[in-house]
Amino acid sequence: MKKAVLQDPGGISGSAKLLLQSAAAAAMLYYYSQLTPLDTTVRLLFSSGLELPPILYIAVIMLFIIGTANAVNFTDGLDGLLIFSSIPTYFFFFAISSSWEVQLFCIAMIAGLLGLLIYNMYPAKAFMGDTGSLAIGGSLSFLAVIEKVEILVPILFFVYFAEQLSVILQVWYYKKTRLRLFKMTPVHYHYSLKYGWSETKIVWIFGGVSALCSLISWLLWAYAM
């Protein structure tokens, strides 16, 4: 809105964005707690669980939602990359949920992403930007909370967290050594600059990894939870 109304290409500051994300995450959790009693148990493998104090649980979940939203935002760097990576994740939640509302939401998101893909595939004619990528990240993280599969997140969200971790490691390593750990971050650019992978190849491989992670997560959910 700031870019469009005030013609400011810089947009809002990073701190303002984090503040708005925190407010949105808090509002979502509050609304959800009004619909159903908030279950502060983190479900683990083999029917075990870890019950957290309500305040600690809310703080951890808020950090998780904000962190995931920004991790997904880093993934939106190449034409079609985030779409190919997020569709398998939405399909995972569609497959495991017993709630028709969740299933309908997942199908709507998949349909919308497929519609955008027509214009977002290389060479892209339309882009989702922060508004779309942050919404995808926020919704995926909230679905993990609703379906109580937080324990599967490191596998299920592997592509998004790898992108985010590459940025964190790059900054940390450069501050320590004044050298770059990767050619460029997020890490999808590294494969292009160092190994000469085409944009289309990176998108297909990252999408395939996301699909594989979704399949592994489903197998764990079906046989180990």
Token code pair at residue 202: 């990176």
CB contact burial 148-187 (16+ within 10 A = b; e otherwise): ebbbbbebbbbbbbbbbebbeebeeeeeeeeeebbebbbb
Confidence check: pLDDT of 198 > 90: yes
Task: Specify the pTM.
Answer: 0.91
**Per-residue pLDDT at 80:** 93
CA torsion sign, 116 to 86 to 25 to 129?
A: negative
pLDDT, tens digit (0-9, with 9 covering 90-100), for 78-98: 999 999 999 999 999 999 999
Confidence check: pLDDT of 65 > 70: yes
Token code pair at residue 126: 């339309």
Percentage of the chain beyond pLDDT 90 is 68
Mean of pLDDT values over 190-203: 94
* pLDDT averaged over every residue in the chain: 90
Neighbours of 56 (CB within 10 A): 10
